[in-house]
Amino acid sequence: MKKNAMDELADRFMDYLVVEKGLSENTITSYSADLSLYLDFLKANGIVDVADSDRVIVLKHLIALRDAGLASRSRARHLVTLRGFYRFLVQEKILRTNPAKLVDLPKAGRKLPDVLKIEEVIRLMDTPEPSKPLGLRDGAMLELLYAAGLRISELVTVGITAVDLEACFVRVLGKGSKERVVPIGQAAKKKLDAYLASGRPALLKGRPSPYLFVTRSGRSMTRQGFWKRFKQYAQKADISHNISPHTLRHSFASHLLERGADLRSVQVMLGHVDISTTQIYTHVAQERLKAVHTQYHPRG
């Protein structure tokens, strides 16, 4: 591995966080600073190949941060960054194991996910131009993303045979190649019908494709391509706070729970293996309930 290879891997990880995870600019900046500090620590300890790092060096780094006076919350954030970085390297088959996985620190509180208001979702869905093939495609993508709570990587790889518009469901290949079936509503069905009737044929121009969503060149949509168009639509919809395609997944889960869906059903639709991952959304719903109680209860 070349001497600057670790920095290149860090850049790839940052791109992944932006495109796949849709993290905010501030969060990306924090992760980048944390990772740069860690890579400098590795180099200072004679490690120039990330494969040579281990659990001991991760612990040494965290101890060094503690000795430098860094607060527990900040050290916990550093650990989250390192776990994510190593998890990415395992996912990309660069490493076989995650040395930061078994390192632990006291929890410093979990950030609640950002969600859109219903009226913001409606504005966003109405932004693509339905008179154009790309607008039909993008409108269908936005609706399916929200209707089924998909990850962006799942959305762009949906196959043409994976959607059953008569039964109103989509088959999704999620993390770990695990398939799940998620129902979709009439709004998504309507836009998918329109896209399949005229948008997709106009883009393909007779060329075959196994993918549901395609580009002008007939290729499948990419995460980067959709993410850029999503940001443009968010701006046109006058959504001022920083959102990403993943925000619609958060909104999907939160809106279902707010309207009485049970946690187990939402877990299945999201494709979460552990229900504790889904439970974060119940806190969002609880915060909304507290706000309603405070506003309307006689003794709130």
Catalytic option among 73, 117, 175, 207: 175
User: Which of the residues 83, 272, 283, 288 is marked catalytic?
Assistant: 272
241 is catalytic: no
Whether 38 is catalytic: no
Cβ neighbours, 10 Å, residue 296 = 8
DSSP codes of every residue in 206-254: T---SBSSB-TTSPBPPHHHHHHHHHHHHHHTT--S---HHHHHHHHHH
* Active-site residue flag, 246: yes
Q: Which residue has the tokens 């309207």?
A: 259
- Where does residue 206 rank: exposed (0-12), middle (13-18), buried (19+ CB within 10 A)? exposed
**Which residue is catalytic, options 151, 189, 200, 229?**
151
Residues 6+ apart with CB under 8 A from 168: 183, 184, 185, 186, 189
151 is catalytic: yes
Buried b (16+ CB within 10 A) or exposed e, 107-146: eeeeeebbbbeeebbebbbebbebeebebbbbbbbbbbbb
The verdict on whether 229 is a catalytic residue reads: no
Residue 249 annotated to the active site: yes
Would you state the structure tokens that stand for residue 150, as one six-digit string? 């998909």
Per this entry, what is the length of the chain? 300
Q: How far apart are CA 263 and CA 246, in angstroms?
A: 19
Residue 80, both tokens:
């989250």
DSSP 174: -
Contacts 24+ apart (CB under 8 A), 178-186: 178/271, 180/268, 180/269, 180/271, 182/148, 182/149, 182/150, 182/269, 183/148, 183/269, 184/144, 184/147, 184/148, 185/147
- Grouping H, G, I as helix, E, B as strand and the rest as coil, residue 258 is helix
Considering the candidates 75, 246, 250, 255, report the single residue annotated as catalytic.
Answer: 246
Catalytic residue, chosen from 75, 78, 137, 249, is 249
Catalytic residues: 151, 175, 246, 249, 272, 281
